[in-house]
């Protein structure tokens, strides 16, 4: 599957092929997104202990919208850190 950045690179290569001042390729990595963890509701359900009311996740974790809904519905405290 092509990402938005890959499509932009392909278009830029086609339009500016061999011409001076062509577009620079898009960067391949975004530094602030490295080492981020994505947590789904399934993973958060596995992390909570029986009768537990809080879950500790990494500070830079990305939590799915469904997981956030599940946390709010069940009154679970989300601790980042």
Q: Are the C-beta atoms of 62 and 33 separated by less than 8 Å?
A: no
| Two structure tokens written together for 80 | 């980042």
pLDDT recorded at residue 72? 92
Q: What is the pTM of this model?
A: 0.53
- Encode pLDDT of 36-47 as tens digits: 688 888 888 888
- What integer best gives the mean pLDDT of the chain? 78
Ordered by start, the domain boundaries in the chain are 1-28, 35-81
pLDDT recorded at residue 1? 72
Chunked mean pLDDT (size 10), the chain, 81 residues: 79 68 58 69 85 86 91 90 83
């Amino acid at each position: 599957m092509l990402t938005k950045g890959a499509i932009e690179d392909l278009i830029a290569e086609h339009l500016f092929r061999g011409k001076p001042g062509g577009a620079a390729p898009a960067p391949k990595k975004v530094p602030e997104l490295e080492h981020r963890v994505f947590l789904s509701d399934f993973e958060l359900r596995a992390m909570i202990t029986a009768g537990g009311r809080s879950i500790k996740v990494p500070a830079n974790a990305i939590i799915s919208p469904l997981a956030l809904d599940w946390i709010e519905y069940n009154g679970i405290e989300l601790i980042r850190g």
